[in-house]
């Protein structure tokens, strides 16, 4: 059975939250809570609470990136210095640690930032094509709830949405 | 250079100067200048122009501080308000001190100035990008920057004056730093000749241009590692230790008989040029 | 005292107001742009002359090997720090008044770094060999000298520039999506579509976005501090009297924040007028900004005094001579001008009546930056004039027109980049203003009227 | 060194052309490109020419009259650098800056490249045949006594040829002129010791008192004296000699003195007599007549007259008495004043009284070949020539090695008088001030492309013939050596005698080879002798013994009177002879212009030295442009204030202020020769160089002086840079 998408736009954020809560509680057949996507013009940590616990993994990228950046920098710099031996700096060892730490520090940050961004793109699934059910109102002032469910569940969705004063409900065009 | 060679001979490459426990192996070029003999006649400076292709920059550029005299004669007076400079002047030939712990070397972003195995402070013109940090960090200000492209400037080396240029020495283009090299082109020839003969360079076999010309022989130059070298004996006699920043002379009251000193030693640059103090007769 | 941002402002109005800045600024915008391009022309002409003739035309010499280029380089690097301060530090502290102004502050960071980078190039004697500073593998096994503070600079600035560009960009993605949604044709549409990466404002995107933004902000703060510390170590690591000062890194960082804040005030006033942002860049925000600037000015003054005091009471006679020379020699007028503009003039900012008086603030903020620029010059020129070696002292070195031309043009370059940015990208963060309004209205238990009349 | 026999001329041709290809490839060497000249490749080169390896050839420096031996470094046919010839007893391998700049005279871009004949205001290039023919015609058309030959100091074979030419013309008018020459001292020495130029043994002296002799800088043979000075300062036994310099304007030597005594100008003789008096009082045995003559010179009076303090006179006398032998030298004290001879006599007397004659003042060796012995120049010669020109007695004038238009004081009106000479031939390297006035300018080979021999006036030991040989092929085909020119001229006059010599080289070679017995080569074959001589660069001669008189006598001692001051012109002008520029003939060599003056560190300009007191009185600060006006003219220059000068004196260096000559000399500074007053030494008639009185007025402008010294001046600012200690605290014999 094919799944259909439905996007509802809400003006009132509290109503949107209530709608989500109701969806969660309604236990509609052919609908998984994880298939619901919230689209909003601003960040809504309080709405996300309603969505349930969804972990973020960007930090792991950060940790790995920063460590790799630092280590790579130190070893690259140190080995470059080591084979740069014929050009000694008077009064200084071939591999001087204090300056190398400065570079390690900088590259630690650079690696961290780069890989964090990479992690963000991966975790947030960007860049991506916009789904066909998208309203520019979402980037303005309305909150959108995109649900995916069986054909059968659509009616239930609509009921809930209308109940919570959805301004507009978009339906995926039929095949 | 391969990594394997590097790893095998790691301890050799880990030269760290100045240090007592890791002396220079074959050569350590050093100089001593007797200020009591120096008369300030400028012959050394002209010799350096001739040997090292230094550009004559002309009045206007000299006025702007663009002069290129790798060895310059400084002239000091007793500034104590006396009516006449009745003890004469103090002349000081100032050239690159070839510091063992050279402040210029550590700051060059591209590694264009380095400490060579025979104890020179080298300047690699091809590598220099002209950040001029080395000069900024040189307490003696003996580094000279090519502010203009002298070979193409009128009246620096007009035809046929360019034929005088020493083919052994690069003519530097604009944007690179340069300085006294201890006449490294002569050292290189001497070392290679000596190697052909299976020995190291003997004292007196190689002279810097300034030393060679000095009418009073105020400049001695040689290999500090060589126990026969005059310059080494002078350093020894004056109890000036290359690897120390405080010498016997500074420490002990009774050691005032020594007149060897190094300039701005307190900055821990460990210069390779020792000066011998000027003397003045007290009976007159 | 002007009004703050209305809590009940319609969100669509925010979009509309900000997006309008992409279309039709006041005529002043074009005047500024034209002046900026003319200034760049001066700099480009000067640089071509210097490049072809030799560094000598800048009238530096063997005593003064560095000049205005390095001074202005530090100035621009310093300027960049306040963007980080406003967006990263205040973000971590949840100071919501930063929200309408952090975007342009970040842009300022990026562009002043780009301007600073040019000075590195302009300064080099052999610009065409600049790639020697990069660590790239080559058959001669030659590397840059990683011990040199200039190489640290290179690393630090490269890190800082790329991080702050990314920070600016990442923070702008939701706004780029707004632009994409509201502009319907032309190259801008394509640009925003590509740059917004398909942002839809889904909960997953927002969730990751928040963490990412926070993480980069956390990275940027130590990075910013390290960047200017490293720039300071160009000097502090050297043995030049007047430079070899332990307190230089914090002193530089404070100076950087100071000049950056002053620059933000200047740009705040300009943008507010040019793009008609009176609704968003409000006087209460300005007031906070001015107070922040005042505080930093006092920190800078303190560190300045500490530097002088530690030299004065220190044991290094050479450094002391140097300080006396600075205050009494031929550079004394500039030195005292720096003290006046940097330490005395900001006292004005403590008075309430000046804190929101835009014309006065405009002039004062520019003068503060003049003072900060003088500070950088007073680090460079007198030190070279009066170093370790009396024989090579040179008290009569003044920069040539070529140097002034390039320095002058750099302001044009920065202005051009900045103004073009503001015209192409939203210089006020729409989504964050909405957040700000939203949270304030939540705090007031008041939901904004969603259908504002437009 | 060249020890094997080969044809040197051919060798140089090969080397030269090969070198020229290397040096000039791509540089527009049109004659080669046009196919007019052949280039010999290195395919069959001699085995001692190794590309990139420098070869050294010995020659003689022609930059000044000291005649140092030089060693030219030649690579690929180009001479690159001049170094000292270690075999020359004059300089023993050392050089001065002036000598090293000889390569810049050689490679100078402003050299004249072909003979020029005046055509209106322009010089028209002509051939040598035409030029020499013209000379023949002109000298043939006038009486022999109307031909005058003006030269600088000459010696060696060129001198011999010159004499022969003048003899052939029947003219005896050879004027030997040197603008800066110790000629009054020569005369005084002759009177006192019977010798004009005794050998001074600085190295043997324990005390040297020099009355203005700048023997380390510009006086007679500075490189030689500098070496002696080094031994004087650090003798083998560790004893350090004491140098006291008495002068009104500090010279380089004064700057190196243990005590520099600023003396009122012209009173040096009084001080010398005062010292004799003090020494006599201290118990030194002094001949009766001398003691009687000096008894009035009490320390008080001398101190009052000279401005040297009582204390210093006493200390100096004590030092001279205690440390023997000493050496007293008269330099500017002799040359400077109308009573210069008297000063010099008094100073020589001091030497004699101290018993230095025979110890530190030695007899030189006589020269076995008088026709080649040096004829030193003096300033009187130019006076004589000038008088003759003024009276229209000169119809044809030759000028060689002198630049009288530049060096003559304006009061002589030399330029106007020159115009009265119908035909003036100038042998020159540059279009200098004199060449500009000439009717015919003949370009000379540089000293590095020419053959010559020289006998320096001052040689440390024995006698010596220095050989000047080409170090490379001629740069310009249109120049000729002086020897070649003289030979060509002689061929016109005495063809039979000289037609056997193809050129000066063959003349020189045969002249030397035929005399090889006297030249120390009696046992060698011709080629060996010749090659050895060339490779050594010098030929040592057995000198003839000369007697020196050590009798101290008051005879001839005229008591010099102190100056009468001139209220309109209150200051004394001392025209300073700098080590680099001397009389200005080398001013077009840029190394010398950029070589800072040792005392002021000024480059590329003239300056007026002034004592701070005088400057304060006149309201002058450093860099003020002042007008220095004498009775004979005025010049404008920047003021340099320092304490190395007597307050009654100002000093302007000579050698600057060329109006012609070349790009490096023209318009640089002002010519101090021009304003010298016509005051002459009473005994010799020489121009008294220091007798010009001047007044100084501010001209209103102020400049920043171009000098090496920074705003700190000579102040070390308490930093330990150039350090000095008392000689009593050191034992030099313990040093290496």
Q: Which domains does chain D have, with CATH numbers?
A: 8-107+452-478+515-541 (2.20.25.90), 116-179+379-443 (3.40.50.740), 183-362 (3.40.228.10), 571-702 (2.40.40.20)
The answer to whether residue B2 scores a pLDDT higher than 70 is no
Half-sphere exposure of C252 (CA within 13 A, CB side): 30
* Residue % of chain C over a pLDDT of 70: 97
Residue C283 is predicted with a pLDDT of 87
Chains that touch A (3 or more CB pairs under 8 A): B, C
Is B115–A88 a contact, with Cβ atoms under 8 angstroms apart? yes
D48 against B271, higher pLDDT: B271
Read off the pLDDT of residues D93-145 as tens digits, 9 standing for 90 and up: 999 999 999 999 999 999 999 999 998 888 899 999 999 999 999 888 888 88
Is residue A25 exposed (0-12), middle (13-18) or buried (19+ Cβ within 10 Å)? exposed
DSSP annotation of D667 reads T
The average pLDDT across C275-300 equals 89
Distances (CA, A) of D717 to B73, C306, D242: 18, 26, 28
Q: State how far the Cα of D568 lies from the Cα of C434, in Å rounded to an integer.
A: 92
Q: State how far the Cα of A166 lies from the Cα of A171, in Å rounded to an integer.
A: 13
Q: Are B213 and D99 in contact (CB under 8 A)?
A: no
Q: With beta carbons under 8 A apart, name residues in chain D contacting C394.
A: 710-711
Report if residue C244 sits inside a domain: yes
The answer to whether residue D6 scores a pLDDT higher than 70 is no
> For position A148, which CATH number holds?
3.30.70
D171 against D270, higher pLDDT: D270
Chains that touch B (3 or more CB pairs under 8 A): A, C, D
Judgement on whether residues A40 and A63 belong to the same structural domain of the protein: no
Number of domains in chain A: 2
- Picking from D96, D260, D603, the nearest residue to B41 by CB comes out as D96
Judgement on whether residues A47 and A72 belong to the same structural domain of the protein: no
Residue B20 is predicted with a pLDDT of 62
Residue D32 is predicted with a pLDDT of 52
C–B contact: 3+ Cβ pairs < 8 A: yes
The average pLDDT across B92-115 equals 91
Residue D129 is predicted with a pLDDT of 92
Q: State how far the Cα of A24 lies from the Cα of B275, in Å rounded to an integer.
A: 90
D–B contact: 3+ Cβ pairs < 8 A: yes
Q: Which residue of A has its CA nearest to C19?
A: A140
The average pLDDT across D302-311 equals 90
Judgement on whether residues A24 and A80 belong to the same structural domain of the protein: no
Judgement on whether residues A91 and A46 belong to the same structural domain of the protein: no
D–A contact: 3+ Cβ pairs < 8 A: no
The answer to whether residue C447 scores a pLDDT higher than 70 is no
The answer to whether residue D1 scores a pLDDT higher than 60 is no
- Picking from A38, A42, A128, the nearest residue to C438 by CB comes out as A42
Q: Is B15 in the A-facing interface, judged by CB distances under 8 Å?
A: yes
List Cβ neighbours of B215 (8 Å cut-off, separation of 6 or more).
B39, B41, B43, D91, D94, D95, D96, D222, D223, D226, D227, D230
Is D242–B284 a contact, with Cβ atoms under 8 angstroms apart? yes
Residue D12 is predicted with a pLDDT of 44
Q: Is B109 in the D-facing interface, judged by CB distances under 8 Å?
A: no
Predicted confidence band of residue D10 (pLDDT cuts 50, 70, 90): very low
C385 against A145, higher pLDDT: C385
- Picking from C390, C394, C395, the nearest residue to D717 by CB comes out as C390
Q: Which residue of B has its CA nearest to C123?
A: B131
The average pLDDT across C369-396 equals 90
List Cβ neighbours of D689 (8 Å cut-off, separation of 6 or more).
D332, D335, D336, D574, D575, D676
Give the structural domain span for A120.
58-124
Q: With beta carbons under 8 A apart, name residues in chain B contacting C63.
A: 65, 141
Q: Is A100 in the C-facing interface, judged by CB distances under 8 Å?
A: yes
How many Å lie between the alpha carbon of B44 and the closest alpha carbon of chain A? 27
Q: State how far the Cα of B233 lies from the Cα of B239, in Å rounded to an integer.
A: 9
Chains C, D: CB contacts within 8 A come to 28
Report if residue A106 sits inside a domain: yes
Q: With beta carbons under 8 A apart, name residues in chain B contacting A88.
A: 15-17, 105, 114-117
Q: Which of D245, D268, D383, D271 has the alpha carbon at shortest distance from D336?
A: D268
Q: With beta carbons under 8 A apart, name residues in chain C contacting D712.
A: 390-391, 393
The answer to whether residue D20 scores a pLDDT higher than 60 is no
Q: Is B1 in the A-facing interface, judged by CB distances under 8 Å?
A: yes
> For position C233, which CATH number holds?
1.20.1630.10
The enclosing H or E element of C392 equals none
The answer to whether residue D495 scores a pLDDT higher than 70 is yes
Q: Is A114 in the C-facing interface, judged by CB distances under 8 Å?
A: yes
Read off the pLDDT of residues B192-206 as tens digits, 9 standing for 90 and up: 999 999 998 999 899
Report if residue C3 sits inside a domain: no
Domain edges within chain B: 25-276
The average pLDDT across D654-661 equals 92
Read off the pLDDT of residues D472-492 as tens digits, 9 standing for 90 and up: 888 999 999 999 999 999 998
Q: State how far the Cα of D713 lies from the Cα of D710, in Å rounded to an integer.
A: 6
How many Å lie between the alpha carbon of C240 and the closest alpha carbon of chain B? 6
How many Å lie between the alpha carbon of C121 and the closest alpha carbon of chain B? 9
3-state secondary structure of D456: coil
The average pLDDT across C299-325 equals 89
How many Å lie between the alpha carbon of C124 and the closest alpha carbon of chain A? 22
Judgement on whether residues A41 and A66 belong to the same structural domain of the protein: no
C23 against C114, higher pLDDT: C114
Report if residue C233 sits inside a domain: yes
Q: Is B6 in the A-facing interface, judged by CB distances under 8 Å?
A: yes
Q: What's chain B's Rg over C-alpha atoms?
A: 20
D359 against C2, higher pLDDT: D359
Q: With beta carbons under 8 A apart, name residues in chain A contacting C132.
A: none
Residues across chain D: 736
Q: With beta carbons under 8 A apart, name residues in chain C contacting A11.
A: 450-451
Q: Which residues pair with B31 in a beta bridge?
A: B221, B273
Is C126–B177 a contact, with Cβ atoms under 8 angstroms apart? no
Number of domains in chain C: 1
Judgement on whether residues A96 and A111 belong to the same structural domain of the protein: yes
Q: Is A98 in the B-facing interface, judged by CB distances under 8 Å?
A: no
Is C435–A42 a contact, with Cβ atoms under 8 angstroms apart? yes
Mutation for D interface: B30, B34, B42, B73, most D CBs within 10 A: B42
How many Å lie between the alpha carbon of C134 and the closest alpha carbon of chain B? 8
Report if residue A62 sits inside a domain: yes
Residue D404 is predicted with a pLDDT of 92
Mutation for D interface: C64, C391, C396, most D CBs within 10 A: C391
Judgement on whether residues A10 and A32 belong to the same structural domain of the protein: yes
Read off the pLDDT of residues D599-629 as tens digits, 9 standing for 90 and up: 999 999 999 999 999 999 999 999 999 999 9
Is B109–C64 a contact, with Cβ atoms under 8 angstroms apart? no
How many Å lie between the alpha carbon of B227 and the closest alpha carbon of chain D? 13
Is C390–D719 a contact, with Cβ atoms under 8 angstroms apart? yes
The average pLDDT across D526-532 equals 89
Half-sphere exposure of B223 (CA within 13 A, CB side): 21
Mutation for B interface: A82, A83, A85, A89, most B CBs within 10 A: A89
Residue B255 is predicted with a pLDDT of 57
Strands (E), D191-325: 199-200, 207-211, 242-247, 259-262
Read off the pLDDT of residues B136-164 as tens digits, 9 standing for 90 and up: 999 999 999 999 999 998 889 998 898 99
Q: With beta carbons under 8 A apart, name residues in chain B contacting D260.
A: 84-88
Q: Are C58 and C402 in contact (CB under 8 A)?
A: yes
* Residue % of chain D over a pLDDT of 70: 93
How many Å lie between the alpha carbon of B109 and the closest alpha carbon of chain D? 29
Read off the pLDDT of residues B265-275 as tens digits, 9 standing for 90 and up: 888 888 999 99
Confidence (pTM) = 0.90
The top-scoring range by mean pLDDT among A93-97, C164-168, D537-541 is: C164-168
Chains A, B: CB contacts within 8 A come to 58
Judgement on whether residues A48 and A101 belong to the same structural domain of the protein: no
Is A92–B101 a contact, with Cβ atoms under 8 angstroms apart? yes
Q: Is B106 left (phi over 0), alpha (psi -120 to 50) or beta?
A: alpha
Q: Which residue of C has its CA nearest to B74?
A: C391
Q: Which residue of C has its CA nearest to A52?
A: C203
How many Å lie between the alpha carbon of D97 and the closest alpha carbon of chain C? 22
Is C390–D710 a contact, with Cβ atoms under 8 angstroms apart? yes
Predicted confidence band of residue C452 (pLDDT cuts 50, 70, 90): very low
Q: CA angle, corner C123, sides to C118 and C124, nearest 5?
A: 105
Predicted confidence band of residue D14 (pLDDT cuts 50, 70, 90): very low
Residue D25 is predicted with a pLDDT of 38
Instruction: Provide the mean pLDDT of chain C.
Output: 87
Q: With beta carbons under 8 A apart, name residues in chain B contacting A92.
A: 16, 101, 105-106
What does each of the 175 residues of chain A score in pLDDT, given as a tens digit?
467 777 888 877 777 777 887 777 777 776 777 777 888 888 777 776 777 777 888 889 999 999 999 999 998 888 888 776 667 787 777 788 888 899 999 999 999 999 999 999 998 888 888 777 777 777 777 888 887 777 777 777 777 777 777 777 777 765 4
Q: With beta carbons under 8 A apart, name residues in chain C contacting B74.
A: 391
Residue B128 is predicted with a pLDDT of 92
Q: Which residue of C has its CA nearest to B152?
A: C53
Q: State how far the Cα of D336 lies from the Cα of D353, in Å rounded to an integer.
A: 24
Worst-scoring range by mean pLDDT, B72-81, D8-17, D476-485? D8-17
Is C219–A100 a contact, with Cβ atoms under 8 angstroms apart? no
How many Å lie between the alpha carbon of A127 and the closest alpha carbon of chain C? 4
List Cβ neighbours of D12 (8 Å cut-off, separation of 6 or more).
D470, D472, D473
Is B25-276 in CATH node 3.30.479.10?
no
The answer to whether residue D288 scores a pLDDT higher than 70 is yes
Between β-strands A37-39 and A143-150, what pairing exists: parallel, antiparallel or unpaired? antiparallel
Q: State how far the Cα of D258 lies from the Cα of B283, in Å rounded to an integer.
A: 9
Hey, CA dihedral for D685, D687, D691, D692, is it positive or negative? positive
Report if residue C98 sits inside a domain: yes
Q: Which residue of A has its CA nearest to C161?
A: A110
Read off the pLDDT of residues B32-74 as tens digits, 9 standing for 90 and up: 999 999 999 999 999 999 999 999 999 999 999 899 999 999 9
Q: State how far the Cα of D69 lies from the Cα of B66, in Å rounded to an integer.
A: 34
Read off the pLDDT of residues C178-237 as tens digits, 9 standing for 90 and up: 888 888 878 888 898 889 888 888 888 888 888 898 899 999 999 999 999 999 998 988
Report if residue A129 sits inside a domain: no
Chain D residues at the C interface, defined by Cβ less than 8 Å, are: 704, 709-712, 715-719, 721
């Amino acid at each position: 059975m094919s799944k259909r998408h439905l996007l509802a736009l809400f003006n009132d954020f509290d109503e949107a939250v209530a709608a989500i809560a109701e969806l969660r509680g309604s236990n509609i057949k052919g609908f998984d809570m994880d298939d619901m996507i919230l689209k909003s013009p601003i960040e809504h940590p309080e709405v996300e609470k309603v969505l349930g616990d969804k972990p973020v993994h960007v930090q792991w990228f950060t940790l790995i990136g920063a460590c790799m950046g630092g280590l790579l920098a130190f070893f690259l710099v140190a080995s470059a210095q080591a084979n740069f031996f014929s050009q000694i700096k008077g009064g200084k060892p071939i591999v001087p640690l204090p300056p190398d730490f400065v570079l390690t520090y900088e590259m630690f940050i650079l690696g961290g930032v780069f890989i964090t961004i990479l992690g963000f793109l991966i975790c947030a699934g960007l860049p991506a094509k916009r789904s066909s059910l998208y309203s520019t109102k979402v980037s303005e002032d309305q909150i959108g709830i995109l649900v995916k469910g069986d054909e059968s569940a659509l009616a239930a969705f609509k009921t809930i949405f209308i109940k919570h004063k959805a301004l507009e409900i978009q339906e995926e065009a039929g095949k | 250079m391969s990594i394997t060679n590097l790893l095998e001979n790691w301890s050799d490459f880990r030269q760290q100067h100045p240090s007592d426990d890791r002396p220079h192996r074959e050569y350590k070029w050093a100089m001593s200048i007797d200020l009591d003999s120096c008369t300030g006649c400028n012959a050394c400076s002209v010799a350096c122009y001739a040997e090292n292709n230094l550009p004559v920059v002309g009045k206007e550029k000299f006025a702007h501080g663009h002069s290129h005299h790798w060895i310059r004669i400084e002239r000091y007076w007793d500034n104590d308000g006396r009516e006449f400079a009745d003890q004469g002047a103090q002349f000081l030939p100032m050239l690159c001190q070839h510091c063992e712990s050279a402040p210029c070397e550590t700051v060059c972003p591209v590694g264009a100035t380095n400490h060579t195995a025979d104890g020179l402070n080298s300047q690699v013109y091809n590598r220099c990008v002209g950040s001029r940090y080395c000069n900024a960090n040189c307490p003696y200000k003996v580094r000279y920057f090519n502010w203009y492209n002298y070979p193409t400037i009128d009246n620096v080396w007009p035809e046929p004056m360019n034929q005088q240029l020493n083919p052994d020495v690069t003519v530097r283009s604009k944007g690179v730093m340069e300085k006294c090299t201890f006449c490294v082109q002569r050292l290189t020839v001497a070392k290679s000749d000596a190697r052909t003969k299976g020995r190291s360079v003997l004292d007196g076999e190689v002279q810097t241009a300034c030393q060679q010309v000095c009418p009073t022989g105020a400049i001695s130059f040689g290999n500090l590692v060589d126990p026969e070298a005059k310059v080494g004996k002078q350093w020894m006699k004056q109890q000036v230790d290359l690897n120390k920043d405080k010498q016997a002379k500074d420490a002990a009251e009774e050691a005032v008989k020594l007149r060897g000193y190094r300039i701005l030693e307190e900055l821990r640059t460990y210069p390779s040029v020792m000066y011998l103090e000027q003397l003045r007769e007290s009976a007159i | 005292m002007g009004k703050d941002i209305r809590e009940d402002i319609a969100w669509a109005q925010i979009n509309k107001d900000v997006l309008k800045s992409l279309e039709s600024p006041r005529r002043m915008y074009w005047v500024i742009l034209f002046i900026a391009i003319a200034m760049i022309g001066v700099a480009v002409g000067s640089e071509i002359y210097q490049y072809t003739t030799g560094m000598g035309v800048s009238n530096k010499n063997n005593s003064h090997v560095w000049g205005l280029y390095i001074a202005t380089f530090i100035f621009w690097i310093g300027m960049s720090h306040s963007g980080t301060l406003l967006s990263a530090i205040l973000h971590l502290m949840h100071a919501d008044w930063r929200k309408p102004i952090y975007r342009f502050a970040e842009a300022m960071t990026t562009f002043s770094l780009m301007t600073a980078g040019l000075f590195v190039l302009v300064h080099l004697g052999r610009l065409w060999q600049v790639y020697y500073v990069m660590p790239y593998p080559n058959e001669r096994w030659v590397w840059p000298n990683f011990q040199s503070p200039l190489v640290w600079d290179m690393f630090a600035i490269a890190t800082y520039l790329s991080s702050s560009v990314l920070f600016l960009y990442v923070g702008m993605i939701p706004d780029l999506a707004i632009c994409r949604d509201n502009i319907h044709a032309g190259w801008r549409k394509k640009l925003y579509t590509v740059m917004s990466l398909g942002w839809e404002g889904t909960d997953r995107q927002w969730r990751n976005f928040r963490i990412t933004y926070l993480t980069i902000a956390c990275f940027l703060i130590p990075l910013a501090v390290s960047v200017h510390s490293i720039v300071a170590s160009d000097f502090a690591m050297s043995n030049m009297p007047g430079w070899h000062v332990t307190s230089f890194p914090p002193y530089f960082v404070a100076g950087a924040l100071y000049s950056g804040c002053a620059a933000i005030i200047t740009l705040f006033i300009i943008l507010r007028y040019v793009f008609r942002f009176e609704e968003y860049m409000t006087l209460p925000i300005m007031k906070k900004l001015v107070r922040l600037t005042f505080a930093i000015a006092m920190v800078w003054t303190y560190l300045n005094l500490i530097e002088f005091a530690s030299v004065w009471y220190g044991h290094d006679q050479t450094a002391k001579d140097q300080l006396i020379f600075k205050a009494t020699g031929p550079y004394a007028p500039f030195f005292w001008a720096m003290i006046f503009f940097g330490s005395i003039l900001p006292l004005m900012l403590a008075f309430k009546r000046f804190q929101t008086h835009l014309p006065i603030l405009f002039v004062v903020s520019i003068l503060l930056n003049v003072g900060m620029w003088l500070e950088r010059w007073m680090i460079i020129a007198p030190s070279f004039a009066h170093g370790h070696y009396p024989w090579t002292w040179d008290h009569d070195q003044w920069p040539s027109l070529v140097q002034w031309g390039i320095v002058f043009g750099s302001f044009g370059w920065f202005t051009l980049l900045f103004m073009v940015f503001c015209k192409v990208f939203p210089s006020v963060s729409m989504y964050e203003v909405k957040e700000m309004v939203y949270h304030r209205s939540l705090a007031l238990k008041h939901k904004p009227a969603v259908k504002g009349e437009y | 060194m060249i020890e094997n026999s080969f044809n040197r001329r051919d060798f140089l041709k090969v080397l030269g052309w090969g070198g020229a290809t290397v040096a000039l490839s791509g540089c527009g060497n049109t004659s080669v490109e046009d196919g007019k000249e052949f280039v010999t490749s290195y395919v069959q080169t001699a085995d001692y020419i190794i590309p990139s390896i420098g070869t050294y050839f010995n020659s003689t420096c022609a930059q000044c009259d000291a005649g140092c031996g030089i060693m030219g470094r030649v690579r690929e046919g180009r001479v690159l650098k001049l170094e000292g010839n270690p075999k020359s007893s004059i300089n023993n391998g050392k050089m001065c800056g002036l000598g090293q700049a000889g390569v810049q005279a050689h490679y100078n871009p402003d050299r004249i490249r072909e003979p020029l004949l005046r055509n209106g205001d322009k010089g028209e290039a002509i051939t040598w045949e035409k030029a020499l023919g013209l000379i023949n015609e002109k000298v043939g058309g006038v009486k022999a006594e109307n031909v005058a030959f003006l030269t600088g100091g000459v010696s060696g074979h060129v001198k011999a040829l010159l004499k022969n030419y003048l003899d052939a013309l029947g003219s005896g008018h050879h004027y030997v002129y040197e603008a800066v020459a110790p000629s009054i001292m020569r005369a005084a020495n002759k009177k006192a010791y019977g010798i004009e130029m005794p050998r001074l043994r600085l190295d043997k002296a324990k005390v040297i008192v020099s009355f203005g002799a700048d023997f380390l800088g510009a006086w007679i043979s500075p490189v030689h004296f500098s070496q002696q000075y080094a031994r004087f300062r650090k003798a083998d036994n560790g004893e350090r000699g004491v140098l006291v310099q008495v002068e009104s304007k500090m010279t380089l030597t004064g700057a190196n003195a243990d005590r520099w005594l600023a003396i009122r100008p012209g009173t040096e003789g009084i001080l010398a007599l005062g010292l004799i008096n003090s020494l006599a009082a201290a118990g030194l045995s002094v001949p009766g007549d001398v003691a009687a003559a000096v008894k009035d010179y009490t320390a008080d009076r001398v101190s009052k007259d000279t401005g040297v303090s009582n204390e210093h006179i006493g200390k100096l006398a004590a030092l001279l008495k205690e440390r023997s032998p000493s050496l007293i030298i008269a330099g500017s004290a002799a040359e400077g004043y109308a009573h210069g001879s008297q000063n010099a006599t008094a100073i020589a007397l001091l030497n004699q009284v101290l018993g230095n004659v025979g110890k530190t003042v030695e007899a030189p060796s006589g020269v076995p070949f008088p026709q080649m012995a040096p004829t030193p120049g003096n300033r009187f010669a130019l006076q004589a020539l000038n008088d003759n020109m003024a009276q229209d007695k000169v119809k044809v004038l030759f000028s060689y090695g002198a630049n009288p238009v530049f060096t003559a004081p304006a009061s002589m009106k030399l330029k106007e008088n020159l115009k009265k000479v119908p035909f003036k031939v100038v042998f020159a390297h540059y279009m200098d001030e004199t060449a500009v006035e000439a009717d015919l300018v003949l370009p000379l080979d540089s000293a590095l492309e020419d053959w010559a021999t020289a006998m320096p006036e001052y040689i440390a030991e024995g006698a010596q013939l220095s050989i000047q040989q080409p170090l490379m092929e001629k740069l310009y085909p249109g120049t000729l050596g002086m020897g070649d020119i003289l030979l060509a001229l002689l061929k016109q006059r005495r063809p039979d005698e000289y037609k056997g010599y193809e050129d000066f080289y063959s003349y020189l070679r045969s002249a030397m080879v035929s005399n090889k017995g006297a030249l120390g080569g009696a046992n060698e074959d011709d080629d060996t002798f010749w090659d050895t001589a060339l490779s050594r660069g010098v030929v040592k001669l057995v000198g003839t013994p000369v007697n020196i008189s050590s009798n101290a006598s008051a005879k001839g001692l005229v008591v010099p009177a102190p100056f009468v001051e001139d209220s309109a012109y209150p200051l004394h002008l001392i025209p300073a002879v700098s080590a680099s520029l001397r009389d200005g003939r080398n001013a077009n060599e840029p190394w010398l212009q950029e070589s800072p003056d040792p005392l002021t560190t000024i480059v590329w300009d003239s300056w007026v030295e002034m004592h701070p007191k005088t400057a304060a009185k006149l309201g002058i600060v450093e860099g003020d442009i002042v007008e220095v006006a004498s009775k004979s003219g005025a010049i404008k220059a920047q003021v340099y204030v320092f304490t190395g000068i007597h307050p009654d004196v100002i000093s302007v260096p000579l050698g600057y202020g060329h109006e012609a000559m070349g790009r490096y000399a023209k318009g640089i500074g002002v010519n101090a020769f021009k304003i010298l007053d016509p005051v002459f030494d009473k005994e010799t008639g020489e121009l008294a160089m220091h007798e010009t009185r001047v007044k100084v007025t501010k001209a209103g402008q102020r400049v920043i002086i171009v000098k090496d010294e920074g705003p700190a001046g000579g102040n070390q600012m308490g930093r330990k840079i150039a350090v000095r200690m008392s000689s009593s605290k050191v034992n030099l014999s313990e040093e290496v």
